[in-house]
Amino acid sequence: MKENDFNSMKSFHHPYSDMSYQDFMSWNIHCVNLLSDEESTWLDGLCKLLKSTRLDIHELNTCSKVEAQCFYFDDNKKLVIANL
């Protein structure tokens, strides 16, 4: 996620309101480093799908599909796949 996307996101997500982009990136690196070897291999595959634009997100309430473009870890260390 680029810095301007993070700044836009943090205005809507309270857990990030006091966090700098550098802190956000450090947090995500920390979360990646906590993954098991199996999870790291899976995440590598996810990154390849994101890069190839072969992964979409389907929002069931509106029945709309958007391209998955990035991921991050939330404040509970949960993986979030996002569209920018």
Over the stretch 68-81, which tens digit does the pLDDT of each residue have? 999 999 999 999 99
pLDDT at 34: 98
Quote the pLDDT of residue 36.
Answer: 97
Token output for 6 = 């993070």
pLDDT of 10 above 90 = no
In 3D space, the residue among 77, 84, 24 whose CA is nearest the CA of residue 53 turns out to be: 84
pTM exceeding the 0.85 threshold for the entire prediction: yes
pLDDT band at 66 (very low <50, low <70, confident <90, very high): very high
Cite the DSSP H helix spans in 1-84.
3-10, 21-33, 37-52
